[in-house]
Protein backbone atom coordinates (compact mmCIF):
# COMPACT_ATOMS: atom_id res chain seq x y z
CA UNK A 1 0.00 0.00 0.00
CA UNK A 2 1.37 3.41 -0.94
CA UNK A 3 1.97 6.01 1.77
CA UNK A 4 0.29 9.36 1.11
CA UNK A 5 1.26 11.95 3.72
CA UNK A 6 -0.38 15.24 4.63
CA UNK A 7 0.25 17.85 7.26
CA UNK A 8 -2.60 18.49 9.65
CA UNK A 9 -5.08 21.28 8.88
CA UNK A 10 -7.63 23.46 10.67
CA UNK A 11 -10.69 23.75 8.38
CA UNK A 12 -8.24 23.23 5.51
CA UNK A 13 -8.35 24.81 2.09
CA UNK A 14 -10.07 23.46 -1.01
CA UNK A 15 -6.66 22.59 -2.42
CA UNK A 16 -5.94 20.46 0.65
CA UNK A 17 -9.21 18.56 0.43
CA UNK A 18 -9.24 18.28 -3.35
CA UNK A 19 -6.03 16.25 -3.05
CA UNK A 20 -7.00 14.37 0.11
CA UNK A 21 -10.32 13.04 -1.25
CA UNK A 22 -8.55 11.34 -4.14
CA UNK A 23 -6.94 8.87 -1.73
CA UNK A 24 -8.39 5.95 0.20
CA UNK A 25 -5.66 5.84 2.85
CA UNK A 26 -4.05 8.98 4.25
CA UNK A 27 -1.42 9.51 6.93
CA UNK A 28 -1.26 12.78 8.88
CA UNK A 29 2.30 13.46 10.02
CA UNK A 30 1.97 14.49 13.66
CA UNK A 31 5.74 14.37 14.21
CA UNK A 32 6.66 17.03 11.65
CA UNK A 33 7.90 20.39 12.93
CA UNK A 34 5.06 22.86 13.32
CA UNK A 35 4.99 25.30 10.40
CA UNK A 36 3.88 28.86 11.23
CA UNK A 37 1.46 30.73 8.96
CA UNK A 38 0.08 27.54 7.46
CA UNK A 39 -3.25 25.76 7.38
CA UNK A 40 -2.12 23.72 10.39
CA UNK A 41 -3.69 26.31 12.68
CA UNK A 42 -5.47 28.78 10.41
CA UNK A 43 -7.99 29.07 7.63
CA UNK A 44 -9.47 31.77 5.41
CA UNK A 45 -13.19 32.43 4.93
CA UNK A 46 -15.28 34.93 2.99
CA UNK A 47 -16.87 37.41 5.41
CA UNK A 48 -19.15 40.43 4.84
CA UNK A 49 -16.14 42.77 4.62
CA UNK A 50 -14.02 40.44 2.49
CA UNK A 51 -11.45 37.79 3.27
CA UNK A 52 -11.09 36.93 6.96
CA UNK A 53 -8.36 34.80 8.52
CA UNK A 54 -9.21 32.59 11.51
CA UNK A 55 -6.28 31.49 13.66
CA UNK A 56 -6.07 28.90 16.44
CA UNK A 57 -3.66 30.35 19.06
CA UNK A 58 -1.20 27.99 20.69
CA UNK A 59 0.88 27.88 23.84
CA UNK A 60 4.56 27.73 23.02
CA UNK A 61 7.33 29.71 24.62
CA UNK A 62 10.83 30.13 23.27
CA UNK A 63 12.33 30.02 19.82
CA UNK A 64 12.90 26.27 19.62
CA UNK A 65 10.96 24.20 17.13
CA UNK A 66 8.11 22.02 18.30
CA UNK A 67 6.47 18.91 16.90
CA UNK A 68 2.84 19.26 15.82
CA UNK A 69 1.93 16.44 18.22
CA UNK A 70 3.12 18.51 21.19
CA UNK A 71 1.44 21.81 20.35
CA UNK A 72 -1.17 22.85 22.91
CA UNK A 73 -4.05 25.19 22.11
CA UNK A 74 -4.22 28.43 24.10
CA UNK A 75 -7.68 29.18 25.52
CA UNK A 76 -6.68 32.22 27.59
CA UNK A 77 -8.97 34.18 25.28
CA UNK A 78 -12.24 32.76 23.97
CA UNK A 79 -11.03 32.61 20.36
CA UNK A 80 -13.22 29.57 19.61
CA UNK A 81 -16.41 31.39 20.64
CA UNK A 82 -15.36 34.40 18.57
CA UNK A 83 -14.69 32.21 15.55
CA UNK A 84 -18.07 30.52 15.85
CA UNK A 85 -19.64 33.99 15.73
CA UNK A 86 -17.53 34.82 12.67
CA UNK A 87 -18.62 31.63 10.92
CA UNK A 88 -22.27 32.27 11.76
CA UNK A 89 -22.03 35.84 10.46
CA UNK A 90 -20.29 34.69 7.29
CA UNK A 91 -22.47 31.71 6.42
CA UNK A 92 -25.85 31.92 8.18
CA UNK A 93 -27.45 33.06 4.93
CA UNK A 94 -25.80 30.28 2.90
CA UNK A 95 -27.97 27.34 1.80
CA UNK A 96 -26.32 24.61 3.86
CA UNK A 97 -24.40 26.02 6.86
CA UNK A 98 -27.25 25.16 9.22
CA UNK A 99 -26.60 21.46 8.59
CA UNK A 100 -23.00 21.72 9.80
CA UNK A 101 -22.88 24.45 12.45
CA UNK A 102 -24.04 22.34 15.41
CA UNK A 103 -21.36 19.71 14.88
CA UNK A 104 -18.73 22.39 14.33
CA UNK A 105 -19.82 24.13 17.54
CA UNK A 106 -19.59 20.87 19.48
CA UNK A 107 -16.01 20.34 18.29
CA UNK A 108 -14.79 23.86 19.04
CA UNK A 109 -16.60 24.24 22.35
CA UNK A 110 -15.22 20.86 23.45
CA UNK A 111 -11.87 22.66 23.82
CA UNK A 112 -9.45 19.90 22.81
CA UNK A 113 -6.07 20.33 24.53
CA UNK A 114 -3.85 19.68 21.53
CA UNK A 115 -4.03 21.15 18.04
CA UNK A 116 -3.65 17.71 16.46
CA UNK A 117 -6.75 16.48 18.34
CA UNK A 118 -8.82 19.47 17.25
CA UNK A 119 -7.73 19.07 13.65
CA UNK A 120 -8.40 15.34 13.53
CA UNK A 121 -11.93 15.99 14.77
CA UNK A 122 -12.32 18.65 12.06
CA UNK A 123 -11.01 16.33 9.33
CA UNK A 124 -13.36 13.55 10.47
CA UNK A 125 -16.26 16.01 10.50
CA UNK A 126 -15.45 17.17 6.95
CA UNK A 127 -15.12 13.65 5.55
CA UNK A 128 -18.43 12.69 7.17
CA UNK A 129 -20.07 15.78 5.69
CA UNK A 130 -18.70 14.77 2.29
CA UNK A 131 -19.91 11.20 2.93
CA UNK A 132 -16.50 9.78 2.05
CA UNK A 133 -15.01 6.60 3.44
CA UNK A 134 -11.35 7.54 3.72
CA UNK A 135 -8.96 6.10 6.28
CA UNK A 136 -7.01 8.87 8.01
CA UNK A 137 -4.32 7.75 10.45
CA UNK A 138 -1.72 9.57 12.52
CA UNK A 139 1.94 8.77 11.92
CA UNK A 140 3.93 6.85 14.53
CA UNK A 141 7.06 8.88 13.79
CA UNK A 142 8.36 11.52 11.41
CA UNK A 143 8.13 10.16 7.88
CA UNK A 144 11.40 10.79 6.12
CA UNK A 145 10.13 9.28 2.90
CA UNK A 146 6.77 8.43 1.40
CA UNK A 147 5.15 7.74 -1.96
CA UNK A 148 3.37 11.09 -2.11
CA UNK A 149 4.10 14.07 0.15
CA UNK A 150 1.53 16.86 0.56
CA UNK A 151 2.78 18.34 3.81
CA UNK A 152 3.40 21.80 2.35
CA UNK A 153 0.02 22.46 0.72
CA UNK A 154 -1.56 25.90 1.09
CA UNK A 155 0.39 28.22 3.34
CA UNK A 156 -1.62 31.20 4.64
CA UNK A 157 -0.04 34.63 4.43
CA UNK A 158 -1.51 38.14 4.70
CA UNK A 159 -5.14 36.97 4.69
CA UNK A 160 -4.65 34.99 1.51
CA UNK A 161 -3.67 31.45 0.65
CA UNK A 162 -0.46 30.74 -1.19
CA UNK A 163 -1.32 27.88 -3.51
CA UNK A 164 0.64 25.85 -6.02
CA UNK A 165 -1.02 25.15 -9.38
CA UNK A 166 -4.51 24.77 -7.95
CA UNK A 167 -7.15 26.68 -9.91
CA UNK A 168 -10.64 25.74 -8.69
CA UNK A 169 -13.78 26.32 -10.69
CA UNK A 170 -16.13 29.03 -9.51
CA UNK A 171 -19.19 28.22 -7.45
CA UNK A 172 -21.82 30.53 -5.90
CA UNK A 173 -20.57 32.22 -2.71
CA UNK A 174 -22.57 34.28 -0.22
CA UNK A 175 -20.73 37.54 -0.93
CA UNK A 176 -19.75 37.02 -4.56
CA UNK A 177 -21.99 39.96 -5.48
CA UNK A 178 -19.72 42.18 -3.32
CA UNK A 179 -16.27 40.64 -3.65
CA UNK A 180 -16.48 38.39 -6.69
CA UNK A 181 -15.43 34.74 -6.49
CA UNK A 182 -12.66 34.09 -3.96
CA UNK A 183 -10.52 31.07 -4.74
CA UNK A 184 -9.29 28.33 -2.39
CA UNK A 185 -11.07 29.31 0.81
CA UNK A 186 -11.65 26.97 3.74
CA UNK A 187 -13.62 23.79 3.07
CA UNK A 188 -16.40 25.25 5.25
CA UNK A 189 -17.10 27.80 2.50
CA UNK A 190 -17.68 25.05 -0.05
CA UNK A 191 -19.79 22.96 2.33
CA UNK A 192 -21.92 25.95 3.33
CA UNK A 193 -22.57 26.96 -0.26
CA UNK A 194 -22.71 23.58 -2.02
CA UNK A 195 -23.75 21.09 0.63
CA UNK A 196 -24.10 17.57 -0.84
CA UNK A 197 -22.67 18.79 -4.15
CA UNK A 198 -19.34 19.65 -2.47
CA UNK A 199 -17.88 16.19 -3.02
CA UNK A 200 -18.65 16.31 -6.74
CA UNK A 201 -17.00 19.72 -6.93
CA UNK A 202 -13.85 18.41 -5.26
pLDDT at 9 over 80: yes
Residue 120's Cβ-side half-sphere holds a number of Cα atoms within 13 Å equal to 18
> What is the structure's pLDDT at 64?
81
Q: What is the bridge-based pairing of β-strands 148-150 and 4-6?
A: parallel
Residues 6+ away with beta carbon under 8 Å from 46: 52, 90, 173, 174, 175, 179, 182, 185, 189
pLDDT in tens, 51-68: 999 999 999 777 789 999
The C-alpha atoms of residue 73 and residue 46 are separated, in whole angstroms, by 24
pLDDT at 76 over 70: yes
What rounded mean pLDDT belongs to the chain? 92
Contact 195, 187 (CB under 8 A): no
Burial of 178 (0-12, 13-18, 19+ CB in 10 A): exposed
pLDDT confidence tier of residue 2, bands split at 50, 70 and 90: confident
Q: What is the mean pLDDT of residues 14-41?
A: 93
The C-alpha atoms of residue 1 and residue 183 are separated, in whole angstroms, by 33
pLDDT in tens, 21-33: 999 999 999 999 9
> What is the structure's pLDDT at 165?
64
Does the predicted model carry a pTM greater than 0.85?
A: yes
pLDDT at 152 over 90: no
Going through 56-201 in order, the beta strands assigned E by DSSP cover: 58-59, 72-73, 135-138, 148-150, 155-157, 160-162
pLDDT confidence tier of residue 156, bands split at 50, 70 and 90: low
Going through 38-120 in order, the beta strands assigned E by DSSP cover: 42-47, 50-55, 58-59, 72-73
Rg (CA), the chain: 16
Count other Cβ atoms within 10 Å, centred on residue 189. 27
Count other Cβ atoms within 10 Å, centred on residue 41. 24
Amino acid sequence: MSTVVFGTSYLGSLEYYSVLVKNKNVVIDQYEWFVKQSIRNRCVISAPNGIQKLVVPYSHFGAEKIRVKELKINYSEAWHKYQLKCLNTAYNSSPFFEFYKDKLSTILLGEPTYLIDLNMQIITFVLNALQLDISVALSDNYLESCDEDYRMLSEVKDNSIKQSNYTPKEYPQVYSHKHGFISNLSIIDLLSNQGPNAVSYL
